[in-house]
Amino acid sequence: MNKQRFAILFIFILIIIDQITKIYVKLNMYLGEHNYYLGDWASISFVENEGMAFGLSFGGGIGKLLLTFFRIIVVIFIAYYIRKQIQTKHANYLFVVCMSLIFAGAVGNIIDSVFYGKIFSESTPSEIATLFPAESYGTWFKGRVVDMFYFPLYNDNLPEWIPFVGGRYTEFFPYIFNVADAYITVGVAILLLFQNKILK
């Protein structure tokens, strides 16, 4: 299999996995529901956000729309860049894997933003969403991104002997993320760790 076909197949599989996890959570969990496993430091926790990192948002509806279009432009550029590098034979397989992870992660969250507002009903703490409802919760390009993985790892008061912050309640990595976010993080991390091998 050549690198271009490998990239297309790999990206397709990654996006399918991302969307299966999000749709499953959306159709089976209440907004804000937590299902704990491995003790208190790991859970599937259903939250939604406007699509920015760490649940941030800006500019209301217009800001959401601009963010979605900006992401689409970035994804088009990444697709062009991957194809160009493969065609010029500058890309090894590790490079293709990293860029495919980043591309698939970006596309996965774009799908939420573009389609979810129109194809799902509202998720609430007392009502589970339905697919293709009579009344959707939003419009095209204004959907919310589904997040679910929560790994606080440590959430307790710090020991008193630690200077300045001793005794203070601390939660290590309080962010909730999805599969697409993980793709982007892993892709960037591999690029940084193995840049000498990848970017010859």
At residue 50, the pLDDT reads: 80
At residue 58, the pLDDT reads: 58
User: How do residues 136-172 score in pLDDT, each as one tens digit?
Assistant: 999 999 899 999 999 987 778 888 888 888 888 888 7
Q: Report the alpha-carbon distance of residue 39 to residue 128 in Å, rounded.
A: 25
Among 34, 44, 109, 120, smallest CA distance to 71 is for 109
**Quick one: pLDDT band at residue 61, thresholds 50, 70, 90?**
low
At residue 160, the pLDDT reads: 86
Mean of pLDDT values over 71-76? 95
Instruction: Enumerate the active-site residues.
Output: 147, 181
pTM of whole model > 0.85? yes
Range name among 8-17, 48-57, 114-123 with the lowest pLDDT average: 48-57
At residue 59, the pLDDT reads: 55
Among 103, 45, 57, 95, smallest CA distance to 76 is for 103
